[in-house]
C-alpha cells in the first residue's frame, strides 16, 4: 500500500510540473496546438507509471507508523476506490444510454455526411446523425465508429454556410482524434476525482482544443472569421437557451469559459499562431523528460548514528587523567546444568493423531493434523471430513452405519457403504464432544455446554436429559453390561474447571453412584466387569478405585479413544504389561 501511495504522489508531482509548463505556453490562447499537447501529457501522466523511476529516500517519523495511521490510510483508500467505481459505472451507463438513443432515434443525413467526407478527404469519415431530440451538437463515439450528432431543431435554424461551419468544426475534432482524448481525460478524471487540479486541467484542455478546431475550420472553409464567429454565437445561443449539457465522452462545438478569448483570437489573428520550432523543441524535451523520469518516494528508517545520538554528543571530552589498566578476566567455575527434561510434553507432536479399524470390513478412520479426518476403504474412494465435522463417532453394529457429531452440534446418521448421510437424528446447542451406542440403552451424546441426551435412533426423539450447567462434557461411556453410564465433565487442561466423573443409569440418566474427582483425564473406560479406568492425555491408564497406574498406551490410541469408543479389546490388546494384559485377554 505504501508503494501505491508513493506512486500516486510521484505522478501528481510530475503532472503538476507539466501543468505549469502547459499554462505558461498557453497563456493568451495563441499557442493552443502546443499547449493542447502539453495538457494531454498531463492526463496521460496521471494514469501511467514512471518509465524511469528516481528513488528518493524519505525518513518516516515513528509517530506516523502507528496502527491508527494505517487504519486511516486503509479507510481513505476504500473511499477513493469507491469513488472511482461509482464514476466509472455512471459514465459507462450514460455512454451506453446515449449510444442507444442515437442508434434508435437518429437518422443519417447523407448530404452532410458527404460534405464531411470531402473536408477530411477520407472514406473513413464520421456519419452525420440528426436527432429529433434537443441535445447539444457533438462528436460522439470511439475510434472509427464516431458520429457527428446534430439536433433537428438547431439544423433548421442554420443556413447553408452556418451548417458547413458547424460540420467543419466537428470534422476538425474527428481529424484531431479528440474523441479518443475524451476517454483518456475521463479515465484520469475518474481515477483522481478528489484532486481539484484535474477539473482545472480539463477546462484548459477543452479551451485549447476548441481554439485549434476553430482555426482549422476557418482555414479549411476559406470563409471570413466573422461569419464563422456568428455561427459559433448562434450555436452558443441555442445551447444556452435550455442549458443543454454534453456527455462526458463527447466533443462538441460548445461554449467555454474563455468564449471572449476565442472570438478575439479568431477575429484578430485569424486563428492560433504557429509555434516557433525552438519553443516546440524546448517544451517537448522538458515534457518528455518529466514524463518518463520522476521521483518515487522510498520510505526508510534511517538508523541513528553515533555522532547524532544525544547521549553520544554529551559524552565528556578526553582528559589527561590516569586510567587504570584493564584487569584480566577471571574464569568462573563451571556450573553443571541439569539434564534436558524428558517426558510426554517434550515430545514432538505426531501428525497422525488417530488411526483405528471400524466394524465395517476393510474400513478404518485416520485423522491427521492439518488434513482433517477421513474414513478409508480398500475398494473405493475415502470419505473426507474437516476436523470440525467429526468431533465424535459411534458405530451401529451389524448395519454398516455410524453416528457422527460435529462442531455444529448436529448428530447425523451416515451409511458407510453408500458414502452419504441418511438422516439428521438431532442437534445439540453446542459442539458434540462424545457419542456412544449400546443395543440395550440406545444412543447417548454429550456436548460442550454440559448436556447429555439419550436419543431414540429411529425417530430422533429425546428420551432423557442430564446436565451440569456451564461445565463441558469430556466423554460418556457405557459399562460392560450397558446398565451404567460414566460421564466425565470438566476440562483436563483448565484448572478452573475441575474434572469429575458421574455414574448414572444408562436409560434414566439418574445418579446411581457417588462422583469421583480426577485430573488430566481424557476419557473414562470400563475395566473388567465392574471396575473403571481413567485414561490420561499423557497415555497413563489409572485404576479409578485404587488410583494406581496400571499401564501406558500411545498418544495416538488416546486420541482414537476420545473420538470413538472401541471397548476393552481395542484399548488394551497387546499394550499393557504382565498380568494386566493376561486379565484383559481373559476378559475378552
pLDDT in tens, 92-147: 888 888 888 888 888 999 999 899 998 888 778 888 999 988 888 888 887 667 89
Q: Which of 12, 16, 21, 24 is nearest to 48 (CA)?
A: 12
Rounded-to-integer distance, Cα 542 and Cα 518, Å: 10
The predicted pLDDT at position 584 comes to 39
* Contact in structure between 142 and 183 (CB atoms under 8 Å): yes
Locate 554 and state its grid cell. 500411545
Strand order in the sheet with 548-552: 521-527, 531-536, 540-543, 548-552
* Contact in structure between 543 and 521 (CB atoms under 8 Å): no
Strand order in the sheet with 420-427: 392-396, 401-405, 410-415, 420-427
Which stretches of the chain drop beneath a pLDDT of 70? 1-4, 6, 28-30, 50-70, 143-144, 241-249, 252-259, 267-350, 492-497, 514, 528-530, 566-588
- Whether the CA torsion 213, 216, 33, 121 is positive or negative: it is positive
The DSSP symbol for 564 reads: B
- Tens of pLDDT, residues 132-160: 888 888 888 876 678 999 988 888 888 88
* Contact in structure between 201 and 16 (CB atoms under 8 Å): no
Task: Report helix, strand or coil for 50.
Answer: coil
- Ranges assigned E (strand) in 290-391: 293-300, 352-357, 363-368, 372-377, 383-385
Question: How many angstroms separate the Cα of 63 from the Cα of each of 67, 70, 157, 283?
Answer: 10, 11, 67, 42
* Contact in structure between 233 and 253 (CB atoms under 8 Å): no
Contacts of 279 (CB under 8 A, 6+ apart): 25, 31, 34
Find the helix or strand (DSSP H, E) in which 41 lies: helix 32-46
Rounded-to-integer distance, Cα 51 and Cα 467, Å: 71
Over 424-436, what HEC string results? Answer: EEEECCCCEEEEE
Q: At residue 81, what are phi and psi to the nearest 5 degrees?
A: -65, -40
Task: Report helix, strand or coil for 348.
Answer: coil
* Contact in structure between 34 and 280 (CB atoms under 8 Å): yes
The predicted pLDDT at position 256 comes to 55
CB atoms within 10 A of CB 400: 17
Is the pTM of the predicted complex or chain greater than 0.85?
Answer: no
The predicted pLDDT at position 454 comes to 94
The predicted pLDDT at position 302 comes to 45
Amino acid at each position: 500500500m505504501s508503494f501505491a501511495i508513493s506512486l500516486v504522489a510521484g505522478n501528481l508531482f510530475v503532472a503538476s510540473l507539466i501543468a505549469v509548463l502547459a499554462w505558461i505556453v498557453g497563456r493568451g490562447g495563441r499557442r493552443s496546438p502546443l499547449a493542447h499537447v502539453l495538457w494531454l501529457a498531463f492526463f496521460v501522466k496521471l494514469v501511467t507509471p514512471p518509465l524511469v523511476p528516481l528513488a528518493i529516500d524519505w525518513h518516516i517519523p515513528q509517530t506516523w507508523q502507528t496502527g491508527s495511521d494505517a487504519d486511516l490510510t486503509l479507510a481513505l483508500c476504500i473511499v477513493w476506490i469507491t469513488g472511482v467505481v461509482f464514476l466509472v459505472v455512471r459514465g459507462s451507463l450514460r455512454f451506453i444510454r446515449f449510444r442507444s438513443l442515437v442508434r434508435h432515434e437518429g437518422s443519417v443525413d447523407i448530404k452532410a455526411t458527404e460534405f464531411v467526407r470531402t473536408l477530411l478527404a477520407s472514406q473513413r469519415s464520421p456519419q452525420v446523425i440528426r436527432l429529433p431530440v434537443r441535445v447539444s451538437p457533438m462528436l460522439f463515439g470511439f475510434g472509427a465508429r464516431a458520429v457527428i450528432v446534430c439536433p433537428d431543431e438547431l439544423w433548421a435554424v442554420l443556413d447553408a454556410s452556418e451548417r458547413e461551419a458547424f460540420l467543419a468544426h466537428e470534422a476538425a475534432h474527428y481529424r484531431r482524434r479528440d474523441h479518443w482524448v475524451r476517454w483518456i481525460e475521463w479515465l484520469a478524471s475518474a481515477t483522481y476525482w478528489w484532486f481539484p487540479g484535474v477539473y482545472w486541467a480539463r477546462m484548459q484542455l477543452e479551451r485549447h482544443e476548441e481554439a485549434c478546431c476553430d482555426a482549422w475550420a476557418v482555414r479549411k472553409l476559406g470563409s471570413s472569421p466573422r461569419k464563422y464567429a456568428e455561427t459559433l454565437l448562434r450555436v452558443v445561443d441555442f445551447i444556452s437557451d435550455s442549458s443543454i449539457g454534453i456527455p462526458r465522452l463527447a466533443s462538441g462545438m460548445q461554449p467555454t469559459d474563455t468564449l471572449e478569448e476565442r472570438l478575439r483570437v479568431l477575429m484578430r489573428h485569424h486563428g492560433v499562431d504557429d509555434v516557433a520550432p525552438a519553443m516546440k523543441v524546448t517544451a517537448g524535451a522538458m515534457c518528455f523528460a518529466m514524463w518518463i523520469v520522476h521521483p518515487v518516494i522510498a520510505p526508510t528508517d534511517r538508523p541513528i548514528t553515533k555522532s547524532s545520538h544525544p547521549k553520544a554528543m554529551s559524552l565528556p571530552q578526553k582528559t589527561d587523567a590516569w586510567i587504570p589498566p584493564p584487569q584480566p578476566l577471571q574464569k568462573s567455575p563451571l556450573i553443571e546444568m541439569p539434564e534436558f527434561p524428558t517426558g510426554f510434553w517434550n515430545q514432538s507432536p505426531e501428525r497422525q493423531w488417530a488411526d483405528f479399524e471400524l466394524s465395517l470390513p476393510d474400513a478404518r478412520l485416520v485423522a491427521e493434523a492439518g488434513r482433517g479426518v477421513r474414513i478409508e476403504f480398500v475398494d473405493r474412494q475415502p470419505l473426507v471430513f474437516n476436523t470440525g465435522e467429526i468431533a465424535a463417532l459411534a458405530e451401529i453394529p451389524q448395519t454398516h452405519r455410524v453416528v457422527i457429531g460435529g462442531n455444529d452440534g448436529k448428530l447425523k446418521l451416515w451409511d458407510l457403504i453408500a458414502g452419504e448421510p441418511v438422516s439428521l437424528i438431532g442437534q445439540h446447542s453446542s459442539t458434540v464432544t462424545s457419542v456412544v451406542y449400546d443395543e440395550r440403552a440406545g444412543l447417548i451424546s454429550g456436548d460442550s455446554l454440559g448436556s447429555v441426551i439419550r436419543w431414540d435412533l429411529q425417530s430422533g426423539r429425546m428420551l432423557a436429559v442430564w446436565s451440569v450447567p456451564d461445565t463441558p462434557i469430556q466423554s460418556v461411556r457405557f459399562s460392560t453390561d450397558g446398565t451404567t453410564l460414566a460421564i466425565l465433565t470438566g476440562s483436563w487442561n483448565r484448572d478452573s474447571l475441575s474434572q469429575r466423573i458421574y455414574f448414572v443409569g444408562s436409560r434414566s440418566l439418574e445418579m446411581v453412584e457417588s462422583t469421583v474427582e480426577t485430573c488430566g483425564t481424557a476419557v473414562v473406560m470400563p475395566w473388567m466387569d465392574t471396575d473403571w479406568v481413567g485414561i490420561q492425555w499423557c497415555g497413563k491408564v489409572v485404576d479409578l478405585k485404587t488410583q494406581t497406574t496400571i499401564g501406558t498406551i500411545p498418544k495416538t490410541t488416546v486420541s482414537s479413544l476420545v473420538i470413538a469408543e472401541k471397548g476393552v479389546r481395542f484399548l488394551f490388546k497387546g499394550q499393557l504389561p504382565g498380568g494386566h494384559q493376561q486379565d484383559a485377554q481373559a476378559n475378552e
